[in-house]
């Protein structure tokens, strides 16, 4: 289960998907560059214009806040695929949300506590969470890893829908239609879906 992961490539891929400078009044965090909001950039010491945020600075923020702090590096030593999924979710929804998804999924898959104890979904990758992941992978192996990935994706999708339904004027995105459109443009399906969802979700807040 210990596939190696290239964190730099993971971060570069995220930055490519997020794109450059965006100044949307619907964004509560202010203007963004490479997916980093002005609020996050300022909190991490950047004082320049957001249009000029260096790519290296954005990559450094992603590594510190969205990889090392939530301990996704520790998860990557157990499963590179799970860590990559959590990193992507964390960049979009917050690392604590991503870890909560992992905790909820592991508890749902522990066969009523037979394989390991239920986890408190507190959003922290504490030793109990890592031990549960170890036990799950030891019992379920590679096929279990795939099941866990699907559970994480389902939780992410469910949260997207709840966020959309909560706000008046929002509508539920049809992933299939977005993927079809992006295929015609030769884009990566999953990356384009998440990008399009963010753009339309942000725009809907202005309605």
Assign residue 14 the CATH number of its domain: 1.20.141.10
**Whether 82 and 116 share a structural domain:** yes
What pTM value is reported for the model? 0.79
If you search the block for the tokens 């604590």, which residue do you land on? Answer: 96
In this prediction, the residues of the chain whose per-residue pLDDT falls under 50 are: 169-193, 195, 197, 199-207
**Whether 29 and 92 share a structural domain:** no
What pLDDT shows up at residue 2? 57
**Whether 182 and 137 share a structural domain:** no
**Whether 55 and 1 share a structural domain:** yes
**Whether 148 and 177 share a structural domain:** no
**Whether 21 and 81 share a structural domain:** no
What pLDDT shows up at residue 167? 62
CA distance 202 to 185: 22
> What is the tally of structural domains in the chain?
3
What pLDDT shows up at residue 201? 44
Q: Which of 47, 69, 91 is the last residue of a domain?
A: 69
Q: Give the residue numbers spanning the domain of 179.
A: 167-207
**Whether 61 and 81 share a structural domain:** no
Q: At what angle do helices 55-63 and 7-18 cross, to 10 degrees?
A: 120
CA distance 203 to 207: 7
Q: Which of 69, 87, 120 is the last residue of a domain?
A: 69
């Amino acid at each position: 289960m210990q596939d190696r992961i290239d964190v730099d490539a993971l971060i570069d891929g995220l930055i490519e998907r997020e794109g450059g400078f965006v100044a949307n009044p619907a964004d509560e965090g202010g203007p963004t560059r490479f997916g980093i909001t002005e609020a996050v950039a300022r909190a991490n010491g950047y004082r320049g214009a957001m249009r000029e945020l260096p790519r290296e600075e954005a990559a450094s923020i992603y590594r510190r806040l969205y990889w090392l702090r939530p301990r996704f590096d520790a998860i990557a030593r157990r499963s590179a695929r799970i860590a990559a999924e959590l990193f992507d979710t964390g960049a979009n929804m917050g690392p604590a949300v991503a870890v909560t998804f992992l905790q909820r999924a592991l508890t749902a898959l522990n066969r009523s506590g037979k394989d390991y104890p239920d986890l408190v979904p507190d959003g922290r990758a504490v030793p109990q969470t890592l031990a549960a992941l170890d036990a799950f992978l030891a019992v379920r192996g590679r096929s279990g890893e795939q099941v866990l990935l699907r559970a994480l994706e389902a939780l992410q999708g469910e949260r997207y829908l709840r966020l959309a339904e909560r706000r008046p004027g929002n509508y539920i995105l049809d992933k299939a239609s977005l993927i079809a459109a992006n295929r015609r443009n030769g884009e990566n399906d999953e990356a384009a879906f998440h990008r399009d969802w963010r753009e339309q979700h942000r725009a809907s807040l202005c309605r």
